[in-house]
Structure 1
Amino acid sequence: MPRPRGLKGSAMAKANKKTKVQEPSSSTEMPENAQTVVLDKVVEEGDEVGEAAALYESAIEKLEIDPNAALALIRGTIHESDRILRNLEEDATLPALFYCTYGSALYELGRLTDEEEFEPYLDAAEERLNQGLTTEDDVANNVHNKIQLALAKIWLAKAASAVSEGEQAVPELSVRALETLDKAMTDVQVPSKTIIELADIVQNHGDLYESIESRDKFRNWAESALNSVLEKEPENASALSGLGLCKLSLANYYLDNLDDNDDDADEEDDDEEEEEKEVLNEKEQQAYQAILDSKKYFEAAKQELVKIDKVSPQVLSDLAETLLNEANLVLKEEDQVEIYKKAVENIKEANTLIEEKKLDFILPEALTSFLEEFEA
């Protein structure tokens, strides 16, 4: 059967911004359920700053499973923070936690809005976070560390615009972000979930560059961070999946360069069926090894999720993509067909999961098209 094109780029498209939800209005109205959410957290009565922080924490908890609800809570956080500032008595001060919460909420809201509106949110978030670094209170040191992590994410997002405009050298802002992350993660113990999120952001930032040297700077950082999680939590499915995406990104880079080689091939190849190859060339072998590494991590992540009955269509989709790319580089047709079958199994499993649990997840079009092709 004919070899379909690889799915280069679909995993790489998981960019610095989260999945968009809805067009945000200029209003930051308080969600109706905001007070209930706050009361579910341990907050002292009358602690308005603590309530805003609890509201933001609830928003982050909902971000992956219900982005629309998270968006409402993030807006509520900003609404409450605005109100606290408006009602602040003259000469009164606010703790670092307030500015950390306010700035982080602005950043997250920016990630859920249109691309062209991201920059103003980043500027506002950076301003609030920097204000938090000037405050001193009983827990300021720990909060200052969180602020540094948030600032690093903002700097990577700002640097991304320079890269997308054609500048392929690593901007100073990106270097500053990595240095800040290194210091902040050395000073205190950062939760695994935060490390995995940071690794994802850093990895996706690296995918913006064309040169392998620039990309490696960020991919290597992400892989090191994820491996540090696995050293303590070898069964962490999110870290395993993150490493799978790092390796798949590397494979996609090599696959993109294979296309460059194709442009230099003899024109007669366009009119003749390509002869069956006996060995892979150097770049194909590099891509193939990265794909195998990626598959290993995705399969391990899936295995861990099966144990706790939390398999997601995302990991099934990523695994299917990796399998298709592997099949495209396998030399023997019978081996290729067997790998295609495994990819089909994962695509169907993802579809079943989406249908049964009524999940708000859409498989990449390339996967659904391949499934239709294969079954035809």
Structure 2
Amino acid sequence: MAKTKSRPRGLGKSAAASTAEAEDSGSARFNPIARTEGDKEGSENAAAVATSLSSAEATAKSSDLEMADPQNEETASLAIKGDTGDEMEELRQTYEAAQKQFAENGTQEYLRGTIHECDRMVRNCGQDVYPSSEFNFIYASALHDYSLFGAELEELDGFVDIALDHIGHAADLIDKAKDAEWLWKYYILAGKVHLQKADSLHEKQEKAKSKKQFDKLSKEIELELEQAANCYEPGFKGVPEGAEKHTVGSDMKTIEKVPLKPHEMIHAASTVALHADRFDDYERRTKWNAWAMKILEAVKADAPTSVEVFQGLATCLHSIVGWWADQEDDEDEDGGEDSEDDEEQTGDEYSLPIYSTERGRFSLEALDSIQKAVELAREQDKLTSDLLTLAAECHLNLVNIAKTDDAAAKQSKAAIALIKEAMATFPDQSLEERYAELLSEMDEIQQSTE
């Protein structure tokens, strides 16, 4: 039986493990942050960004500057330095206004103002660390928000490292009883910033000049994932019922309000799954995909019609199947001979032994999940090329393990139809380039079996 040689990876992975439990609530102080030895370069980046922030002539360059919000008359102006005499209350109001302003019109004046006010408060406090857990949380949160949309690419590492520093300062100062109201926000923020750091380390890993350096960065990336997981789980547990947040809509233009908890859980799972797929070793790949699937399953219990959940589950399963496919490719390159199991077999395809293996089971489960995602997306008008191509690749997973020509032909036909639908519905030159050779090869195979 002829099989396809190409195994394109899922585009959906960019859209979705055992971790340490949080300390008991009786502990007044805690510190889940453990920085790595590789922080020297990051600290230098952070210092450069801090200098830039301190000297920049931005919107809020002095503590008594009033900033206007042209989009909302009710919050038309806000004095960073008000008349309350309570610096923390004024900072809190400034950051809340910054979040509101960005959600409403995408502008960042208040975010920059928040960062500059934090910088001023640190300089004036007479200490190396401002002695307030909430202050350090707000500073880290504003830096994180700004790094996502306002920071130049070359400054990004510096913003992340400064944010991590203030995450650590906040952790040292937190009192669980006193800070209980916003503690869940701290945990979720810490998780996000650690994942940002993992992204930064991955960029460095792609430029690694030796296997030793590559492996060292892999360990550092996993440490950041561990830290993120340790923070996310108690954070998710603490989100108040009914909490919402503003986010960019599926049309990438409008702003919509969504339930906060499932949104953050799906984001965390998707990002961790992306990192999981980058690991070449089986243990790490399965460990972090398992963590992501655990989070997604928890969301599915409350949101059984979420397209993102089913897409995320399919992505994780597809990633693990991909690891097994890569091992088969390596064996083929080493000149391994075909086993008797690869010979044409008759009978019920899906009762054959291959479908009892992890690769077989996960191939079927991935297809079930992505088919559900596509079905829901069609109903909810959320169909994307990522969904269609991931569905095609899940069919290809089954082509690659099929033991009968009929089963392979059926899965190939479905994959071709989905890829062609993606190209027709979402015209994109990169899609055509990615799948042109595969479509040509599969068309030839299909014609030869007719």
| Fold match (TM-score > 0.5) | yes
Does residue 1:307 correspond to 2:373, yes or no?
Answer: no
Query: For the structure 1 residues 5 and 334, does the alpha-carbon distance in structure 2 shift closer, same or farther, using more than 3 Å as the test?
Result: same
Query: For the structure 1 residues 117 and 340, does the alpha-carbon distance in structure 2 shift closer, same or farther, using more than 3 Å as the test?
Result: farther
Q: Which residue of 1 aligns with 2:185?
A: 146
Q: Which residue of 2 aligns with 1:367?
A: 435
CA positional deviation for 1:202: 1.6
TM-score by length of 1: 0.72
Q: Which residue of 2 aligns with 1:99?
A: 139
Amino acid of the structure 1 residue aligned with 2:402: V
Query: For the structure 1 residues 297 and 354, does the alpha-carbon distance in structure 2 shift closer, same or farther, using more than 3 Å as the test?
Result: same
Return 5+ residue gaps in structure 1 as ranges.
Answer: 17-25, 60-69
Which protein shows a greater Rg?
2
- Of the structure 1 ranges 84-93 and 94-103, higher mean CA displacement relative to structure 2 is found in 84-93
CA positional deviation for 1:243: 0.4
SS in 1 for 2:14: coil
Matches within 5 A, 1:1-376: 3-11=3-11, 14=14, 35=69, 39=72, 46=78, 47-57=93-103, 73=107, 78-85=111-118, 98-109=138-149, 118-130=156-168, 134=173, 141-159=180-198, 161=201, 164=205, 165-167=214-216, 171-189=222-240, 191-266=261-336, 276-278=343-345, 285-355=357-427, 362-363=430-431, 365-374=433-442
Query: For the structure 1 residues 36 and 231, does the alpha-carbon distance in structure 2 shift closer, same or farther, using more than 3 Å as the test?
Result: farther
Query: For the structure 1 residues 266 and 200, does the alpha-carbon distance in structure 2 shift closer, same or farther, using more than 3 Å as the test?
Result: closer
Query: Contact (CA 8 Å) 2:314, 2:365: kept in 1 or not?
Result: yes
Query: For the structure 1 residues 301 and 194, does the alpha-carbon distance in structure 2 shift closer, same or farther, using more than 3 Å as the test?
Result: same
- Of the structure 1 ranges 303-312 and 282-291, higher mean CA displacement relative to structure 2 is found in 282-291
Query: For the structure 1 residues 118 and 260, does the alpha-carbon distance in structure 2 shift closer, same or farther, using more than 3 Å as the test?
Result: farther
| CA-to-aligned-CA distance 1:353-375 (integer Å, 9 cap, x gap) | 324xxxx8953743343235445
Provide the aligned C-alpha RMSD in A: 4.2
Q: For 2:358 and 2:229, locate their aligned partners in 1 and report how far apart those are by CA, in whole Å.
A: 27
Amino acid of the structure 1 residue aligned with 2:148: E
Query: For the structure 1 residues 351 and 12, does the alpha-carbon distance in structure 2 shift closer, same or farther, using more than 3 Å as the test?
Result: closer
Q: For 1:202 and 1:77, locate their aligned partners in 2 and report how far apart those are by CA, in whole Å.
A: 30
Query: For the structure 1 residues 176 and 370, does the alpha-carbon distance in structure 2 shift closer, same or farther, using more than 3 Å as the test?
Result: same
Q: For 1:127 and 1:230, locate their aligned partners in 2 and report how far apart those are by CA, in whole Å.
A: 35
* Bigger relative contact order, structure 1 or 2 (CA pairs below 8 A, ≥6 apart): 2
TM-score by length of 2: 0.62
Query: Contact (CA 8 Å) 2:367, 2:395: kept in 1 or not?
Result: yes
SS in 1 for 2:391: helix
Query: For the structure 1 residues 153 and 83, does the alpha-carbon distance in structure 2 shift closer, same or farther, using more than 3 Å as the test?
Result: closer
Q: Which residue of 1 aligns with 2:244?
A: none
| CA-to-aligned-CA distance 1:299-328 (integer Å, 9 cap, x gap) | 101111111222122111211121122222
Amino acid of the structure 2 residue aligned with 1:295: L
* Percent of paired sites with the same residue: 19
Amino acid of the structure 2 residue aligned with 1:185: F
Query: For the structure 1 residues 50 and 196, does the alpha-carbon distance in structure 2 shift closer, same or farther, using more than 3 Å as the test?
Result: same
Q: For 2:226 and 2:77, locate their aligned partners in 1 and report how far apart those are by CA, in whole Å.
A: 43
Q: For 2:181 and 2:435, locate their aligned partners in 1 and report how far apart those are by CA, in whole Å.
A: 44
Q: For 2:192 and 2:284, locate their aligned partners in 1 and report how far apart those are by CA, in whole Å.
A: 18
Q: For 2:290 and 2:152, locate their aligned partners in 1 and report how far apart those are by CA, in whole Å.
A: 29
SS in 1 for 2:278: coil
Q: For 2:272 and 2:429, locate their aligned partners in 1 and report how far apart those are by CA, in whole Å.
A: 24
Q: For 1:312 and 1:151, locate their aligned partners in 2 and report how far apart those are by CA, in whole Å.
A: 31
Q: Which residue of 2 aligns with 1:21?
A: none
Q: For 2:163 and 2:95, locate their aligned partners in 1 and report how far apart those are by CA, in whole Å.
A: 17
- Of the structure 1 ranges 329-338 and 306-315, higher mean CA displacement relative to structure 2 is found in 329-338
